Amino acid sequence: MERQADFAKCIKGSTGDWEVVVGLEIHAQVASRAKLFSGASAEFGGAPNTHVSLVDAAMPGMLPVINRFCVEQAVRSGLGLKAEINLKSVFDRKNYFYPDLPQGYQISQYKSPIVGEGEVLIDMADGEAVTIGIERLHLEQDAGKSVHDQHPTSSYVDLNRSGVALMEIVSRPDIRSAEEARAYVSKVRAILRYLGTCDGNMEEGSMRADVNVSVRHPGDDLGTRCEIKNVNSIRFIGQAIEHEARRQIDIIEDGGVIDQETRLFDPRKGETRSMRSKEEAHDYRYFPDPDLLPLEFDQAFVDEIAGSLPELPDARKQRFIDDYSLSPYDAGVLVSDRASAQYFETAAKGRDAKVAANWVMGELFGLLNRADVEIETSPISAEHLGELIDLISDGTISGRIAKDVFEIMAETGSAPGSIVDERGLRQVSDTGEIERIVDEIVSANPDQAAQVAERPKAIGWFVGQIMKATQGKANPQVVNELLKKRLGMS
């Protein structure tokens, strides 16, 4: 079913509203040790051509043998995308010449992929939930890498990536804005990371996307699309779509037509440009690879994998809403990354979940952002954050002091309890001592005391003075009560 045009998402042009139509092909590297059809290492990096077997270098007479683990991961990913699993699929040769493709063809799946139609649910910031259709997921080989900046007239080719297993996940053209595209890629990445089938590391190229963009007036047939190749960050995917949509609208509104072509996104300039050299290569002459039998397995193989699936982001989000009474937005933020969700659950265990969520999403995410580290290497462990929350809820320290303790925890990695003891930050709830200080300060400031009688809000000044006198350690609730009593307000 086709989506109705949403005018709020349209781009304004001189000839009216334009709807952006986007489809994505995500290439996700299977988190395997060895390659798809050879026993060479699939690990990122390595000295040039050291992760290469004679199969990957396409030496004559070499035969591909499929890696069972890669097949399992494709099925697992398919199940995570709520997709149909094909018990029989076929590997084809996609023929083209390029220096980093020693075989002269890529082994891929064309007419019959291992995974068929599925869907991904994305949550937008305004609360809208959008279903993006998945057309297919298929297994294919990665190509090698060309290095162009080592020599003025030569390119250097490293085949370490050649033959690494990729899952190509093809969406339907259901995406209608750069924002939706970003949400979709983030969601697919989260699902694969929950499943453990792809590490989702976009810097190392474990995930990248080809972005198909076209524009049309709402209600019209699909426009001519351009394909932007190999965009390697979620932010760049958004920028590339925004730039490309604007470019196409300007051409059409100036009376031109869009050429169907392959383009490249230049992150430095924030624009796309034509890659004419790829054009003629589009005639790939697919045919079934005679070196490989069809890929076949039985339903029991699929069922066994289905039985081992972890809780996925959507289910976990619902559980966070039901069990912890979190808002859908907070739950969505926390489950978007498996490690964040795990961290939250550890910190919240047996405690006020809302308070824990606020600490994780506020102070902790802020700290991780500033320090530019991932939650896996957080300087504050989830257990320690939980202990800090306990110290607040049992009245040992005030919320204000807790923020100071949090900063000290970030610097030292120490447990909050020992920081509070060593630095004498324990909250003073002893009424006798606070009463003494209240009395002292009220007596010393008769003018302010008189003001409070006329303007009750002026009591804040006294609270401030008392907190200052106690270095913030006085229990604010006790201070308030005693002050009101002393000033005759209660």
Partner 1 sequence: MSVDQATVRHIAKLARLKVSDADARKLEGELSTILEWIEQLDEVDTEGVEPMTSVVEVTMKMRDDDVTDGAIADQIIANAPEGEEHFFVVPKVVE
Instruction: Copy the structure tokens of residue 83.
Output: 């997709």
Among 71, 132, 231, 392, interactor with partner 1 by CB under 8 A: 71
Assess 58 for contact with partner 1 (CB under 8 A): no
| CB closer to partner 1 out of 294 and 366 | 294
Q: State how far the Cα of 398 lies from the Cα of 395, in Å rounded to an integer.
A: 7
DSSP state for residue 24 in the 8-state scheme = E
| CB closer to partner 1 out of 217 and 229 | 229
Residue 280 CB, shortest distance to partner 1, in Å, is 7
Assess 39 for contact with partner 1 (CB under 8 A): yes
Q: Considering only residues 156-175, where is the footprint of partner 1 by CB under 8 A?
A: 156-159
For 103, the 3-state DSSP assignment is coil
**Cα–Cα separations (whole angstroms), residue 147 to 46, 58, 152, 157, 281:** 15, 20, 11, 6, 21
Among 21, 22, 24, 52, interactor with partner 1 by CB under 8 A: 52
Residue 37 CB, shortest distance to partner 1, in Å, is 8
For 152, the 3-state DSSP assignment is coil
Among 49, 232, 414, 431, interactor with partner 1 by CB under 8 A: 49
| CB closer to partner 1 out of 87 and 489 | 87
| CB closer to partner 1 out of 48 and 395 | 48
Assess 140 for contact with partner 1 (CB under 8 A): no
Residue 222 CB, shortest distance to partner 1, in Å, is 27
| CB closer to partner 1 out of 73 and 475 | 73
Which residues have CB under 8 Å from 311's CB, separation 6+? 194, 319
| CB closer to partner 1 out of 76 and 176 | 76
Pairing mode, if any, of strands 287-288 and 92-95? antiparallel
Amino acid identity at 57: A
Instruction: Copy the structure tokens of residue 225.
Output: 């699309």
Among 4, 151, 219, 455, interactor with partner 1 by CB under 8 A: 151
Q: Considering only residues 249-278, where is the footprint of partner 1 by CB under 8 A?
A: 264, 275, 277
Q: State how far the Cα of 244 lies from the Cα of 273, in Å rounded to an integer.
A: 9
Whether residue 100 contacts residue 52, with contact meaning beta carbons closer than 8 Å, is answered with no
Q: State how far the Cα of 338 lies from the Cα of 456, in Å rounded to an integer.
A: 49
Assess 48 for contact with partner 1 (CB under 8 A): yes
Among 15, 16, 65, 373, interactor with partner 1 by CB under 8 A: 65
Amino acid identity at 32: S
Whether residue 173 contacts residue 8, with contact meaning beta carbons closer than 8 Å, is answered with no
| CB closer to partner 1 out of 68 and 436 | 68
| Helix or strand holding residue 451 (H, E) | helix 446-454
How many other CB atoms sit within 10 Å of the CB of residue 340? 22
Among 70, 195, 334, 360, interactor with partner 1 by CB under 8 A: 70
Residue 257 CB, shortest distance to partner 1, in Å, is 24
Q: Which stretch binds partner 1 (CB under 8 A): 8-16, 38-46, 171-179, 220-228?
A: 38-46
Assess 109 for contact with partner 1 (CB under 8 A): no
Q: State how far the Cα of 192 lies from the Cα of 124, in Å rounded to an integer.
A: 20
Q: State how far the Cα of 335 lies from the Cα of 158, in Å rounded to an integer.
A: 38
Handedness of CA 285, 290, 294, 295 (dihedral sign): negative
Whether residue 221 contacts residue 10, with contact meaning beta carbons closer than 8 Å, is answered with no
DSSP state for residue 2 in the 8-state scheme = P
How many other CB atoms sit within 10 Å of the CB of residue 223? 20
Residue 96 CB, shortest distance to partner 1, in Å, is 8
| CB closer to partner 1 out of 39 and 399 | 39
Residue 108 CB, shortest distance to partner 1, in Å, is 16
Q: State how far the Cα of 107 lies from the Cα of 96, in Å rounded to an integer.
A: 11
| CB closer to partner 1 out of 47 and 300 | 47
Q: Which stretch binds partner 1 (CB under 8 A): 27-35, 191-199, 337-345, 466-474?
A: 27-35
Q: Considering only residues 82-101, where is the footprint of partner 1 by CB under 8 A?
A: 95, 97-99
Query: How many residues bind partner 1, per CB under 8 A?
Result: 54
Assess 367 for contact with partner 1 (CB under 8 A): no
Binding mask 281-310 for partner 1 (x = CB under 8 A): x-x-x--x---xxxxx--------------
Instruction: Copy the structure tokens of residue 323.
Output: 């069990």
| CB closer to partner 1 out of 40 and 115 | 40
Q: Considering only residues 449-488, where is the footprint of partner 1 by CB under 8 A?
A: none
Q: State how far the Cα of 219 lies from the Cα of 249, in Å rounded to an integer.
A: 16
Among 15, 131, 155, 327, interactor with partner 1 by CB under 8 A: 155
Whether residue 103 contacts residue 134, with contact meaning beta carbons closer than 8 Å, is answered with no
Q: State how far the Cα of 99 lies from the Cα of 244, in Å rounded to an integer.
A: 29
Among 3, 41, 179, 233, interactor with partner 1 by CB under 8 A: 41
Residue 94 CB, shortest distance to partner 1, in Å, is 12
Pairing mode, if any, of strands 16-29 and 92-95? unpaired
For 217, the 3-state DSSP assignment is coil
Residue 137 CB, shortest distance to partner 1, in Å, is 19
Give the residues lining the site for partner 1 (CB under 8 A): 32-34, 38-41, 47-55, 57, 65-71, 95, 97-99, 146-148, 150-159, 264, 275, 277, 280-281, 283, 285, 288, 292-296
